[in-house]
Structure 1
Amino acid sequence: MQRLFVMFPDRAPGVGLVLLRLGLCAAVLTLPMAPTGWLQLASLAAACLLLVGVWTPLAAVALLLMMGLHAASHWAWLPLPAALLLLGPGAYSLDARRFGRRVLRQSPGGGTGRDHPKE
């Protein structure tokens, strides 16, 4: 996941990405989808993944495709998953917690220590 995104922004940009994820989830939950059950279930699953920031690229691509299937009625919402796909999950997500930046520290004995999360 770290190779997909250059950074996991925090502070104001990170809060902006949280708001983008929340807005996209709200759009998915309030927009009427096709009556097929699998599409509604897949949209709900992708929205739940985005809500907590897990597998953000996969969920954003899934929503982009599902909203694209209904482009006639949801064309105005298509930039949201595309922007989230390009920007990444942000620092306030489970993706950042799991795949965020690591710092390699050298132990006092001369060996290379373990990977530690950046503090």
Structure 2
Amino acid sequence: MQRLFSMFPVGLPGVGLLCLRLAAALSLWLAMQSTPLGFPAMEWVLEVAGFLLVIGLATPVVASISVLLGIYGVIESGGLAWECMGSTVLVALALALLGPGGYSVDGRLFGRKSVVLNGSGEPPVRKP
């Protein structure tokens, strides 16, 4: 799973990626509310995808799925929903390429760890 993420920045870049995740989830929810869906299970999939984007779990995978769902929304509407879905697709694509950031579940699970070596013969301690 580590290969999916380039890094997990904290500080202002981490906050920026958190805002990008929130924007992707919100724009996905709003765009799909205004676009007629082909089948009812799609609404459930979109709600789960939006929630996973907000908390930052499996972010590159979910963002890639969001890109595909956005393209599906444009195709399903006959190109009429491009105004709504264009920004959703671009934000989700940027998020899929950048990763979740340090303030996410992915960052907590797969982020950088530091190993502190003790000179007392005890096993090393991993700190997040």
Could you tell me the TM-score, scaled by structure 2's length? 0.81
1:108 aligns with 2:111: no
5 Å-filtered alignment, 1:1-119, equals: 1-31=1-31, 32-33=34-35, 34-71=37-74, 72=79, 73=81, 74-110=85-121, 113-117=124-128
* Higher normalized strand content (fraction of residues): 1
Q: How many percent identity over aligned positions?
A: 34
**Hey, what's the Cα distance between the residues in 2 that align with 1:66 and 1:46?**
10
Deviations 1:9-65 (A, max 9, x none): 111111111111111111122112414112111111100001111111121111111
**Hey, what's the Cα distance between the residues in 2 that align with 1:106 and 1:112?**
8
**Hey, what's the Cα distance between the residues in 1 that align with 2:11 and 2:19?**
12
Secondary structure, counterpart of 1:104 in structure 2: strand
Q: Any unmatched runs of 5+ in structure 2? A: none
Could you tell me the TM-score, scaled by structure 1's length? 0.86
Q: What is the CA-CA distance between 1:105 and the residue it aligns to?
A: 2.4
Asked which structure has the greater RCO (Cα within 8 Å, sep 6+), the reply is: 2
**Hey, what's the Cα distance between the residues in 1 that align with 2:95 and 2:45?**
18
Q: What is the CA-CA distance between 1:112 and the residue it aligns to?
A: 5.3
Q: Any unmatched runs of 5+ in structure 1? A: none
Paired residues in the alignment total: 117
**Hey, what's the Cα distance between the residues in 2 that align with 1:6 and 1:29?**
27
